[in-house]
Amino acid sequence: MGADSNQIGTEALSWDEVGFLLNSIVAATRAWRTATQRIRDEFSLKPRGPWILGLIYAGRVVFPADLAKYFQCSPSLITGELDRVISAGLVTTRKHAADARQLELLLTPLGEEVSRSISVTVLEMVQTALSTYSKEEVLFGARLLIDFADKLNKP
């Protein structure tokens, strides 16, 4: 690492400032776990379970392989969590109409209800917690974190 390794643009970050950034990421993760604790307890889900429901609910994933790509892990690591949401009666599968070799993930009516509840809870949590910031500031912060993660996850 060169002398400028702690540079952001033209301003250097101190170790304390880097720690502040990383602590904020951990704190946000803790807030998500707190917001979904009741659902996880009720349906015996791990932390990814509510996230999986939200991804299906939002139409961002259709197949189990989509989840593996999203979480950047092997499909075998997703299988256990999928088994939990399916056993809990929140998700079901069916053969995809265009390719019967693939299983499509679908929310059950209970899964729809639980996902809607999670989305309302999280929306209220975010809007309350970030109410002193403009929409532009919130979206800038989100873009910054996505860029940060993308750059760390590139080989």
Return the pLDDT at 106.
Answer: 95
Q: Is 4 within a domain?
A: no
Q: Is 136 within a domain?
A: yes
Return the pLDDT at 84.
Answer: 96
CATH number at residue 31: 1.10.10.10
Return the pLDDT at 67.
Answer: 92
Tokens of 55: 């991804």
Q: Is 3 within a domain?
A: no
Return the pLDDT at 91.
Answer: 97
Rounded Cα gap, residues 122 and 118, in angstroms: 6
Q: Which of 108, 114, 77 is nearest to 92 (CA)?
A: 108
Range of the domain at 66: 11-153
Q: How many residues does the chain have?
A: 155
Q: Is 29 within a domain?
A: yes
Residue 94: DSSP 8-state:
E
Taking the CA atoms of 49, 50, 54 and 56 in sequence, report the sign of the dihedral they define.
positive
Below-50 pLDDT ranges, the chain: 1-4
Q: Is 2 within a domain?
A: no
The answer for 104, left when phi > 0, alpha when psi is -120 to 50, beta otherwise, is beta
Q: Is 6 within a domain?
A: no
Return the pLDDT at 74.
Answer: 85
Map tokens 């379970």 to a residue.
49
Return the pLDDT at 10.
Answer: 62
Return the pLDDT at 118.
Answer: 92
Q: Is 73 within a domain?
A: yes
Number of domains in the chain: 1
Residue 107: DSSP 8-state:
E
Return the pLDDT at 58.
Answer: 93
